[in-house]
């Protein structure tokens, strides 16, 4: 092949028909469109779906992925488009790598984000390794995020559609993984374009609703799942005002999160109160006025840096950070402690910053994702 041979749409200097791509298929419209689009372009497509949790329990649940009906939907798309499709049982791996930590984090008073751990520990680790075992040149997913080539190699960028952007959930993608991954939907202007493509390809999932909740948490009831996984986790205790007053009794720390206002069961007070701390050692829910939620200094660990150079090369870095998936990036300064730990100073206080959430870094200009870390209580 000549050195100046043109790149195909996935970035390889080889014919499309000789380029094998494994598509991670959840059974939803996004990954189905990716698979159909690449197949139509002539690529050697192989679809792979992971069964991540109990097949039978998920059949009746709407808005889930990676079990039951969704596996069936992924298989139907593969059959209709004419490419091979495999289902891999990762139920034990998923429980050990994601579900158990989710439960333990809640019991420790944190607010975990299991979708990030799933991408990090299952989809972009074990599934990616399977793709390489299948001699695939790359692996494609239906995530709304962009991979762009920069001066020093592949870069991660937020999606063109800010409403669909999933960069918060993919901050822990490593450079090695990024070199191998492809995200064909990241440049689309809206989800409507994705559904229009699904209709054009005649896919049975064209009108399928998006998944909403965490896949293994039916109806968003985290506490019920944790009680099932960790019997006895919902032990009652005191609801205490930050000034020391005992205001009532709670029904288990797992029912509360930092920043929560509703459902505290302590009505009749002059001021609105919010959960400002979960005191795990003393089984106390600490409440206080809204201003107590404001935070400027955020300790983080398990830092993943994909911004070029070494993370600790500079004493401080000016960036934008996102401390919750629903909030826009805000100006901050990162001060590395070592290669995997840092303190983030928010230039404007944020409310409800909680251990267990991610703090994701963005360039101050443009759309580049620089990495991120996990918020914790600090030393």
Nearest Cα residue to 368 out of 191, 193, 153, 180: 153
Query: Distances from the Cα of 240 to the Cαs of 49, 56, 59, 85, 155, in angstroms?
Result: 47, 42, 42, 54, 47
Residue from 65, 66, 118, 359 carrying the catalytic annotation: 118
Reading phi first (left if > 0) and then psi (alpha if -120 to 50, else beta), residue 164 is in alpha
Check if 115 is active-site: no
Residues of each annotated binding site = 24-31, 50, 142
Helix H or strand E segment including 132: helix 128-133
Q: Distance (Å, rounded) from C-alpha 27 to C-alpha 73? A: 5
Nearest Cα residue to 111 out of 327, 343, 354: 354
Task: Decide if 24 contacts 134 (C-beta within 8 A).
Answer: no
Token pair for residue 292? 């107590």
Q: Distance (Å, rounded) from C-alpha 220 to C-alpha 154? A: 36
Rounded to the nearest 10 degrees, the angle between the axes of helix 29-41 and helix 69-81 is 20
Residues of each annotated binding site for ATP = 24-31, 50, 142
Q: Distance (Å, rounded) from C-alpha 279 to C-alpha 275? A: 11
Check if 215 is active-site: yes
Task: Decide if 227 contacts 234 (C-beta within 8 A).
Answer: yes
Helix H or strand E segment including 38: helix 29-41
DSSP state of 271: S
Q: Distance (Å, rounded) from C-alpha 142 to C-alpha 32? A: 8
Tell me the pairing of strands 284-288 and 138-140. unpaired
Nearest Cα residue to 319 out of 302, 343, 288: 343
Place of tokens 């759309």: 367
Q: Distance (Å, rounded) from C-alpha 261 to C-alpha 253? A: 14
Q: Distance (Å, rounded) from C-alpha 230 to C-alpha 103? A: 7
Q: Distance (Å, rounded) from C-alpha 166 to C-alpha 98? A: 19
Place of tokens 């959930």: 169
Q: Which residues are catalytic, by number?
A: 118, 215
């Amino acid at each position: 092949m000549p050195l100046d041979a043109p790149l195909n749409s996935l970035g390889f200097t080889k014919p499309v028909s000789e380029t094998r791509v494994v598509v991670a298929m959840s059974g939803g419209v996004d990954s189905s469109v990716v698979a159909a689009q690449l197949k139509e372009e002539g690529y050697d497509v192989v679809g792979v779906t992971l069964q991540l949790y109990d097949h039978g329990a998920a059949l009746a649940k709407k808005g889930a992925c990676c079990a039951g009906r969704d596996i069936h939907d992924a298989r139907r798309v593969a059959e209709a488009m004419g490419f091979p499709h495999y289902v891999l049982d990762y139920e034990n791996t998923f429980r050990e790598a994601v579900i158990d930590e989710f439960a333990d984090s809640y019991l420790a008073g944190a607010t975990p984000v299991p979708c990030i751990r799933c991408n990090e520990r299952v989809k972009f680790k074990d599934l990616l390794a399977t793709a390489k075992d299948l001699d695939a040149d790359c692996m494609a997913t239906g995530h709304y995020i962009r991979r762009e080539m920069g001066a020093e190699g592949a870069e991660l960028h937020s999606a063109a559609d800010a409403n669909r952007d999933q960069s918060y959930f993919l901050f822990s993608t490593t450079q090695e993984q990024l070199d191998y991954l492809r995200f064909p939907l990241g440049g689309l202007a809206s989800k409507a374009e994705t559904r229009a493509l699904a209709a054009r390809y005649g896919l049975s999932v064209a009108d399928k609703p998006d998944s909403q909740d965490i896949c293994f948490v039916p109806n968003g009831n985290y506490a019920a799942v944790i009680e099932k996984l960790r019997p006895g986790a919902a032990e009652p205790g005191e609801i205490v005002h930050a000034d020391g007053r005992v205001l009532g009794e709670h029904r288990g720390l797992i029912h509360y999160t930092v920043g929560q206002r509703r459902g505290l069961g302590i009505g009749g007070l002059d001021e609105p109160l919010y959960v400002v701390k979960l005191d795990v050692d003393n089984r106390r829910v600490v409440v206080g006025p809204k201003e107590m939620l404001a935070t400027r200094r955020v300790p983080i660990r398990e830092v993943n840096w994909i911004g070029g150079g070494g993370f600790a090369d500079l004493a401080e870095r000016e960036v934008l950070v996102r401390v919750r998936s629903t909030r826009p990036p805000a100006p901050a300064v990162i001060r590395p402690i070592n290669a995997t730990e840092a303190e983030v100073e928010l230039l404007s206080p944020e409310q409800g910053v909680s251990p267990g959430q991610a703090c994701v870094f963005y360039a101050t200009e443009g759309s580049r994702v620089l990495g991120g870390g996990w918020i914790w209580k600090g030393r």
